[in-house]
Every structure is written in structure tokens, then in C-alpha cells.
Amino acid sequence: MSVNIVVPVKYVPDAQKQRQFREDLTVDRSDAILSELDEYPLEAALALREAAPEAEVTIVAVTVGPDEAAGAVKKALQMGADAAFHVNDAALAGSDALGTSAVLAAAIQHVGEEHGGVDLVLTGLASTDGEMSVVPAMLAERLDFALVSRAGTVEWGEDHNGLALTRATADATQTVAVSFPAVVSVTDQANEPRYPNFKAIMAAKKKPSAVLSLAEIGVDPTAVGRDAAAASVQSATARPPRAAGTKVQDEGEAGVQLAAYLAEQRLL
Amino acid sequence: MNVLVDLGQTGRLRSPDREVLTLARTLAAGGAVTALTHAPRAEDVAAELGGYGVSILYAPEGEATDLSLTDTALLDAALGESGATLVLGPNDAETTDAFARLAVRHSAAVITDAVGMAADRTVTKSVLAGGYTTTAAPTTDLAFVTLAPNSVQAEEPEEGPAPEVKPLSVSVSGAAATVTGTREAPASSRPKLTEARVVVVGGRGVGENFSLVEELADELGAAVGASRAVVDAGWAEHSAQVGQTGVTVSPQLYLCAGVSGAIQHRAGMQTSQTIVAINKDENAQIFDIADYGVVGDLNKVIPQLIEALRERRG
Ligand SMILES: Cc1cc2nc3c(=O)[nH]c(=O)nc-3n(C[C@H](O)[C@H](O)[C@H](O)COP(=O)(O)OP(=O)(O)OC[C@H]3O[C@@H](n4cnc5c(N)ncnc54)[C@H](O)[C@@H]3O)c2cc1C
Ligand SMILES: Nc1ncnc2c1ncn2[C@@H]1O[C@H](COP(=O)(O)O)[C@@H](O)[C@H]1O
């Protein structure tokens, strides 16, 4: 048997740096990294592979985006993915989630053709820039795969043809069973993503990584991009910084002073 | 415009639902407001809906045991019957999933986690962990929008005739996951984190003695929150996590101790009305946004604060 896992990874501006919008109302990605929330599905895929060598897991990372997005798949290969695809096409600029998910679905099918089918798509909880959390469900809809969103734990099901998961809803924790093929989004509660060591970084250089155009995966370029978007961004404004207020050093009375402040502000 | 509200699985109106219903009535501007509940016993929720101007409540005939597929089919059926051009719901996982799937099915716009929507359908949303506010408008006739909690001032229901309850029966085919068990979260006597007027939050600086934070919260009648560092350490449940991958709170008073104020944490609390921070590091980022900051050891400040609060009530 063999199990093929695709992990869609997004490159996003680094949260530790100044993040901003460009004049065309797209996010400035010049200082981009693999979205931190996409490390969790990658780690989940690696853990599944390590837990069951007999399942013969292959992990393929896929990203959709311009040249800089290559950094996302590079990091995914360093973490341990076996192969990577980067869909890069001028027609993609300004795509919304509908467009991105259509391209990702076609790319996943392309992986399936090359590797003999895709069993599992493991995504992040949300992209750390757009924070939409819609791409996983859109992929399930487009591929006709089962969907489990926001999995907090990810384990093999019986016989390695599915998974046993838990997920938190607003007021309960569910246990869930899913058979392949499935799309599962993974939260940042699921695991502790590994850091690639030197050996892994060197090994990544020899792994197969390909750039694909829309034509190569059979996507009509007029169906994606800014003009095809179902929602158009009209403005992006930096949040005015919240001004700092009073700061007091504790000289032994800070607790009493704080109580007085709360009373004065009518917050008690 | 006709607006359909998705009320989710719980079978009762929670505060985020009231916000969505309030917004729906405003946006409908005289058009029909209809609603869908995914819970089989619709009567409980129906009674209050008339007060929000809801004319029809769609309700399923049975209980779903699969994830997402039946919920999506129910929403699609309600959408077809209602003739709505705007579908609104709270920003929870199940609602987001169904909206995303139907956006694909109907080639329609979907915007999640909005903080507002105007009469001209312009949606406001905060992105980059709260660093930017964007506006976007659907270019399609049909749009799906989920609303972040604490975005709209929820109205109390008025007197109004209860909506007509229309049963929906759907049959689904396709791949779906099965829910094999459900464990309800233990009931707490404290207010709900997302709804509380006062929220007390502990960070890594609190250490294992998280009960100190709980004691302060109880003194203030507050909900208890935590940073991710605390949740990762196992000192608090994930449901208590405030921030980008936890809950967003916007209380009158947000009081935190031992929290450094990382951008992902700020994303979940920076719209609080008054922010108070206790931290022993005078350069902690949290002080940049605190209305009142105490530079000091929380193990001294909090017990003294609790004592002072007790004396005041004395
Ligand atoms: C994709 C992503 C999503 C994330 N989502 C979230 C999220 O939703 N919520 C969240 O909170 N974090 C989130 N994080 C993590 C975030 O980046 C920080 O790591 C986290 O918020 C730090 O928690 P902390 O402030 O409790 O701990 P630290 O940063 O370790 O800060 C502890 C603070 O306690 C102070 N302190 C120590 N001892 C005392 C004492 N005795 N008295 C007073 N002060 C003391 C220290 O000075 C320090 O400032 C996310 C990170 C990523 C990458
Ligand atoms: N451009 C992209 N390339 C690859 N994967 C993506 C892209 N956009 C979104 N994803 C995947 O979808 C998940 C949810 O993204 P979103 O719906 O944009 O919040 C991410 O965590 C990724 O796994």
C-alpha cells in the first residue's frame, strides 16, 4: 500500500517584521516566509509517515503564488516533504480564495496523476495574512473529498486508509473518523513543528521540485486573477496605533493603586 | 435585499447569533429575513426569532452524524427556498465550511471574520493580525459573510410573531467524515470569555500558579483567558486562549499579567476598551497598548490587588 499526502503551503509576510499592503491592495510579500500555521499540517504529515513506515507515505508540498513563493516550498522540503510543486503564473495576480482553491485543486489532481492518486490533503487552519479559513472547505468541495476542519489531533485510523481525529467546536470536543480521500485542516494545537537541521537542509536540495504554469495543470487563466475575483478589495488602512497610557513602577503599593484606578474608571 | 441567517447547531440563540440577526435586519432594509437552524428541535429557538423580524425558520427533520456535508446541503436547500442574496452567519468553523463550499457551488463571494457590513454590501475585515483594516465588496449577486464576535451591538428582541417553521429534508451523497463521539465542555460558573464585561488573562509569567489569575477573575466577576504559551504548557484549556488562533475578546476591561504582548496575542484583544497590564519587564510590548501598566512582579501585585478589592467591597 502507499498513502500520498499533499500539504498546500502559503508564503506570507513575516509577522515579526513590518507587514504592509502595496498600492495595488495586495499584501507586500517581499519579506515572506512559509506561513507558520502551515508548519502544523506538515509536521502532522511527517508524524504520520514516521508512525507507520509500512504505509509508505509520500508527502508533496504545493504552493500557489509568484516567484517569492518558492521560499515556502523550499522550507517544506527542508522540514521533510519528499517533493514540491510551485504553481506560478502571471495570470494569478489578485486571485481570491475561489481562484486560489481552483488552482490548488487542479495542482492536487496533477500530483495525483504523477503519484498514482492523492489520499489526503492536510492544510493549515488559516493563512496568517488573509485569515479566511475557507480554502480547505473549498478544496473538499472541488475534489469531492471528505472534510474535517480544525483538527486538534491527527492519528492513523484502522488499516491506514483513514484518520482518527479530534476537533473542538464552540462548546464541545468531537472525535471524528474519516476515510480517504479527505481534506483535513490542522490547528496550531496539533503538534510542535520541527526545525530542519543541517542534514535536512542539505538533503532538501536534491529533492524534486517543479514549477508549473496554469496551462500545465489545465486551468483557464481567465477563470483566476483579479478580474475573475468574486470579492474585490477596495481599501487597506493601517490600524492607528493604540496610544500607551500611564505606566507605574511598583514601589510596593501598585496593587492598591491599581484598585483605585479601576474604581476611578468605574470598572469595578 | 433578502437575507438568510445561519444559526448553526446549538439550537439556542447565543450572543454572536444575536449580533448576526441584528445586522441581518438592518441590511435587509425591509426585505425578508429568514433563518436556518441545524438543530432538529426548532421550537426553542423559534420563539425569540420573531423579535428580530425573522419570517421563516428552516429546520432539519433529523440529526446529522456526518461533518459538513449535511450542514451544507441544508443551507443550500434553505438558500434555494428563501431566495436570499446575502447569507450571514457567525464566524465558527462549521458555518465557515458550509459558506466556503456553497461559494464554490454557486460561484459566489465569501468573506469570513468580517467586523461589519454596510448597506452597499461593503464588508470590513481586519487582517495581518489586526494590523490592517480592509474593505472589500462582492462582485457577485450572491454573497456569504461570517461575522466576527463583538462586531455589532446586538439588539434585544422586540415583540414579534414567531416565524413559520419550515422543515427541510435533504439527502446527501459524497464523501464525509463521521462524528464518533462528543464531549461537552464542563460547565463553568464564570462568564463566557467572548461575552464577558471583564476579562482577566494570565501569560507565561504566571507560571504554574494559574489559580492566582482565577482568584483575581472571580474577585472581579470576570472571565479567565490565557496566552498560547500558557495553553501550550497545559496550565489552561485551549478554549481560554486569546489571540489570532484563539478567541477575540473586546471587553470593557482587559487585565493581563505575565503576558508579553506578541502580535498574535494582540490580534485577539486590542479592541478592548480599557487595557491593564502587569509585567515585570518595563519594555514588554504589551505596555505599548496598555491604558494602565504596572511594572512589577505579578506575584506581589495581584495578591495586593485582590486584598484591596476586598477591602473596597468590605
Ligand atoms: C501563527 C501563530 C499564532 C499564534 N497565536 C497566538 C494566540 O492566539 N494567542 C497568543 O497568546 N499567542 C499566540 N501565538 C504565540 C505568540 O507569538 C507568543 O509566543 C505568546 O503570546 C507568548 O505568550 P506569553 O506572553 O504568555 O509569554 P512570553 O512571551 O514568554 O511572555 C511572558 C511575560 O511574562 C513576564 N513575566 C515573567 N514573570 C513575571 C512576573 N513574576 N511578574 C510579572 N511579569 C512576569 C515577562 O516579562 C514576559 O513579558 C501565536 C504564534 C504564532 C506563530
Ligand atoms: N496560495 C496558497 N498556496 C498554497 N496553499 C494555500 C494558499 N492559500 C491558502 N492555502 C492553504 O489553505 C489554508 C487556509 O488558507 P485560507 O483559507 O486562505 O485562510 C492555508 O493554511 C494553506 O494550507
Minimum distance, in Å, between the CA of residue B280 and any CA atom of chain A: 9
- What span, in angstroms and rounded, lies between the C-alpha atoms of A47 and A186? 13
Cell for B61? Answer: 427533520
* pTM: predicted TM-score of the whole model, two decimal places: 0.95
3-class SS at A136? helix
Beta bridge partners of A174: A167, B182
Domains of chain A: 2-228 (3.40.50.620)
Same CATH topology for B3-168 and B198-313: the answer is: yes
Q: What superfamily does domain B3-168 belong to in CATH?
A: HUPs (3.40.50.620)
> d(Cα B280, Cα A54) in Å, to the nearest integer?
52
Pocket residue to mutate for ligand 1, from B280, B295, B299, most atoms within 8 A of Cβ: B280
Contact B308 A258 (CB under 8 A): yes
CA A151 to chain centre: 13
Domain ranges of chain B: 3-168, 198-313
- B10 contact residues in A (CB cutoff 8 A): 170-171
Mean pLDDT of B160-174: 92
Identity of the amino acid at B113: D
Helix (H) or strand (E) holding B27: helix B15-28
* Mean pLDDT in residue range B133-147: 96
CATH number assigned to the domain with residue range B198-313, chosen from the 4 options 3.60.15.10, 3.40.50.1220, 1.10.3720.10, 2.60.40.1180: 3.40.50.1220
* Per-residue pLDDT of chain A in tens (268 residues, 90 and over written 9): 799 999 999 999 887 787 888 888 888 877 778 999 999 999 999 999 999 999 999 999 999 999 999 999 999 999 999 999 999 999 999 999 999 999 999 999 999 999 999 999 999 999 988 889 999 999 999 999 999 999 999 999 988 999 999 999 888 899 999 999 999 999 999 999 999 999 999 999 999 999 999 999 999 999 999 999 999 899 999 988 888 899 999 999 999 999 999 999 999 9
d(CA A99, CA A101): 5
Nearest chain A CA: its distance from B269 CA (Å): 12
Please name the residue ranges forming H helices in A6-151: 39-51, 70-79, 97-115, 135-143
**Residue whose CB lies within 8 A of the most ligand 2 atoms, among A37, A100, A131, A188, for a mutation test:** A100
